[in-house]
A and B are shown apart, each in its own frame.
Chain A
Amino acid sequence: MKKRICIIIIFFLSLFILLNRLVTPKYQTELIEGHMIKEYYQEAKNHEVIFIGDCEVYANFSPIQMYKDYGITSYIRGTSQQLIWQSLEILKETLKYEKPKVIVFNVNSMRYDKPVSEAYNRLTLDNMKWSQEKINMINSSMLEEETFLSYIFPILRYHSRITELTKEDLDYFLNEKNITFNGFLINKNIKPYTSFPEQRRLPSYTFKENVYKYLDEMVKITKNNNIELVLIKAPSIYPYWYDEYEKQIIDYASKNNLHYYNLKKVVDEVGIDYNTDTYDGGLHLNLNGATKLSKYFGKLLQDEFNLTDYRNNESVNSIYQNKILLYNDAIK
């Protein structure tokens, strides 16, 4: 009898695990941004530069382009609307795998002091490997209506998808394909700038204390590990980057001896044209724009931070030659 009961329990447990997998979105053809966090884990961990931040990093910089031009090995650990406490945890997690020379953090998320949307939480967290960092991140990102348990057992969140399953859910049940190149999400569409809503007055232009606390933590961790923390503001027309924001970041950077590059200011120098180089009218750059920006920023990184040119390193180069072949194919 005991044996039978064991078999029954094992059977239902396996069924439960399979169903969890079945109803969880695969993020392969729709909402592909949910797949990004996962792709890092299978990479060879040899990056000298790691980007962290929101879509303003994964849409605007191309690591493969930077490798092609300067031999820089970099990876973008960006996710959709990555909030600063999420960036911090991703930074901590990254350091468990490797020790880069430079961490580039996009400061756009400084404006958010509270979690914004459950969907974005899911895109960032669903595919993250379990670790202390993930647990911290869930706890600090959950909205009122969310439960921790639903991150452990996705069936609790996605069970209603059972009546909406698509071919994607079966096709990618076991194996998934990568959708980024070192974290860069290629978008070739062109949508010229037209207009954006008027600039709003805000109740406060000062970044919140808790947000600064996370940034302080990043500074501390990078200093302790001898890593350069580089702050950037990626080029975009919207959402507005207020002058008050800019001043605070400049002050913070100088107080903490950090590099800060507001790339909005060098748009002309880089050659970005918001009529051809953006896929959504000026929020994010398309492939054209990202290529231009990567050439500029790669040069800057190389000049400032004494990075290795890995094109001369045979073992690394052979990995990247493969990536370049695939990349060239994808950008055609």
Chain B
Amino acid sequence: MKKILLILCLFLLVGCGKAANKVYSLTLNNKTFYLGEEYTKEKYGESIGYSEVSSCAFEGLDKTYKYDHYEVTTYPVDGKDKVYLIYFLDDEISTTEGLKLSDSYNDMISKYGEKYKKEGNLYTYTLGKTNLNIIVENGFVTSIEYAHEI
């Protein structure tokens, strides 16, 4: 009886809340990058290239930092630069779940399943406010991009 009560109490205490806000993250060399987090040099390291892209009327919106195998793009929110895109440049790195450029369509399905949204060649997997955008051409992955909703 006590056990049941205890379980009931635990259930009431912890249970039934809204699921934690899950997002996609990218782990490289034991470092995990979270989409939507603030970009800092300390965490992301020295970049090998940097560019700012303004758009029609709004200046300096996107900042892109280039690293050896990927690019990180930030977007200002309340004066802080938040990471909203991570784009793979080559097949030297793979996603946290193990997908890399030049892998096959079947690799993608075995790692991410069939719960995608498809638009042309673009397969989008969504987790919370983050998307994993994968382009598949002729059965092979040709583009991998993590994106956070703006």
Contact = CB atoms under 8 A, between A and B. Distances in A.
Nearest to B64: A197
B106 interface: no
A267 B26 CA distance: 41
A54 B82 CA distance: 28
A204 B49 contact: no
Interface of B: 49-59, 64, 66, 71, 73, 87, 89, 119-122, 135, 137, 142-143, 145
A60 to B, nearest CB: 12
Contacts of A289: none
30 contacts: A31-B57, A34-B57, A55-B57, A80-B56, A80-B57, A81-B56, A81-B57, A119-B57, A194-B50, A194-B51, A195-B51, A195-B66, A196-B51, A196-B53, A196-B64, A197-B51, A197-B64, A197-B71, A198-B71, A198-B87, A200-B145, A201-B143, A203-B119, A203-B120, A203-B121, A203-B122, A203-B135, A204-B122, A281-B52, A283-B53
Contacts of B52: 280-281
Contacts of B142: 201
Interface string A275-295: 000001101000000000000
Contacts of B50: 194-195
A156 to B, nearest CB: 22
A196 B137 CA distance: 25
Which 8 A-B pairs rank lowest in CB-CB distance, beginning with the nearest? A203-B122, A80-B56, A80-B57, A201-B143, A55-B56, A33-B57, A197-B64, A203-B120
B57 to A, nearest CB: 4
Interface string A110-141: 00000000011001000000000000000000
A212 interface: no
Contact of A197 (B58, B66, B119, B135): B66
A238 interface: yes
Residues of A in contact with B, size category: 20 to 34
A200 B50 CA distance: 16
B73 A197 contact: yes
Contacts of A119: 57-58
A80 B58 CA distance: 9
